[in-house]
Amino acid sequence: MVFSSLEFIYLFMPPVLLGFLALRVLRLENAIIWWLISASLAFYLWWSPVHLLLLMASVGANYGLHRLLLINRSKLLLTVGIAGNLAVLAWFKYADFLLENISAVFGAESGSLGIVLPLAISFFTFQQISFLLDTWGNKVSECDFKRYVLFVTFFPQLIAGPIVLQKDTIPQFRLSNFINRTGLNILIGGTLFSIGLFKKIVLADGIAPMANAVFAATDSGQVVAMETAWLGALSYMFQIYFDFSGYCDMALGIARMFGIRLPMNFNSPYKALSISDFWRRWHITLSRFLRDYLYISLGGNRSGVLGRHGNLLATMLLGGLWHGAGWNFVIWGGLHGGYLVFNHLWREFCESTQLGRYAPNALKVIASWAVTMLCVLIAWVFFRAETFGGASLMLQSMLGYATPSTIVAAESLISEHNYALAFCAAMIVVVTALPNSIEMTCRYRPVIDTMKELQQTIGTRSLLTWRPASVWGIIVAVGGAAALIQLYRLNDMTEFIYFNF
């Protein structure tokens, strides 16, 4: 079950919300927590009853380690706990990948263990590792079992994040949060959910056919025209943007309906003027986790210039591998690691030489944005392609290396070429010039860490600032209805891209 499915919208969410509201009236804090736990487990059960047992075993084992660490803050016990979590993750996510590569090295017949990847295993594993580290570091006191279970399994963030820390949500699992400003919470939550549904169904799924057709062609060894390759790459660039942005909005909105604020996980990354800025805006909680629990653990900035750059590369390579068991993901992570290293070196060079001191600010902004987006686009090619050969063919076509005799006619590749071209042109304006959903609703603190800069970006009196008013109600209702109509029309539901990780 996914947020953008009719089953979730009509069969799952209404009874869960009504049950919550009934318990809220009775002011039963424990009952509300257990109700949300039950709903979360049912949400996961819908996908796989077998893997629900794995999830609960993981929760029970990690809670037991938490209790033991409170008694004895042993580094050995912490190491065993982290190693155990990573071993389970590695088995389910990387065992087949490792077997394939070993077979290739030794020239043996490639086999497969046939392991099914449990939904959300990367996310709930990282959350529980952070909890053990915070317990060992004396950043968390004793946590009762029911709040810990809800911390890990809370269904708005269970499947694809954000990766929440214990300090993000556990303190919010209180009656005062559940009963405070319920009407406003439902309005804000419903608004964010509708915006996210529109992004996913109308925008992301609307442009997906172009991206799918072009990448399918190159993955099968076909060569496409230069303009078609660029259009396919740009289509995927916007597909993953609105797919992940839509998911983040929907997760925030659902959680807010229950009075819970989640951390910001997406902040207009295509407005970034550098790769460092991009990673401060894209999958923010993953970037935070990799920085705090991997990069700093490797030595961070304390290892000298070469050590710092090596740590950065290692962190991004592992971050790429986290996204998927495939060499294309490793290359994607390596590219971003290389980009970040060059970003730091270039900034230091410009500061020491005052290069660009006399260049117009507008020129510097445009050049920085264009170079950043080009680097991101090239990396997305490896992220999306199923094979290294497909990614290579895609880049060759984008560079114009294809010969006319080998090019697949655009007409035989995709029938919506003109639509995709108009869509991409319009979306460049949307993602760079318009405020995002968090900025639009910043007046009502849609996330835990709403920053003052967000309010300054759009202003609290702007026409694009959301308010609980009839005009906004009509706009949101029309957007949500358009998404539902499209969902009915397609009669098909696609998962969010990040569900695969």
User: Which residues are catalytic, by number?
Assistant: 323
CB atoms within 10 A of CB 492: 7
**444 secondary structure, DSSP code:** G
Task: Decide: residue 275, CB within 10 A, 0-12 exposed, 13-18 middle, 19+ buried.
Answer: buried
For 266, the 3-state DSSP assignment is strand
**Amino acid at the residue 349:** F
**325 secondary structure, DSSP code:** S
**Amino acid at the residue 185:** N
The Cα 311–Cα 318 span in angstroms is 11
| Six token digits for residue 185 | 């919470």
Exposure letters 246-264 (e unless 16+ CB within 10 A, then b): bbbbbbbbbbbbbbbbbbb
Contact assessment for residue 476 and residue 194, using Cβ atoms and an 8 Å cutoff: yes
**Amino acid at the residue 46:** W
For 359, the 3-state DSSP assignment is coil
Q: Element (H or E) spanning 103, and its range?
A: helix 75-106
Residue bearing tokens 């043996």? 108
Give residue 272's region: left, alpha or beta (phi > 0; psi -120 to 50): beta
Angle between helices 226-257 and 361-384 (to 10 degrees): 90
CB atoms within 10 A of CB 83: 11
DSSP 238-259: HHHHHHHHHHHHHHHHHHHHTT
| Six token digits for residue 137 | 């570091």
| Six token digits for residue 423 | 């869509």
User: 223 forms bridges with which residues in the sheet?
Assistant: 407
The Cα 366–Cα 325 span in angstroms is 36
Q: Element (H or E) spanning 407, and its range?
A: strand 407-408
For 206, the 3-state DSSP assignment is helix
Torsion of CA 446, 450, 455, 456, to 10 degrees: -160
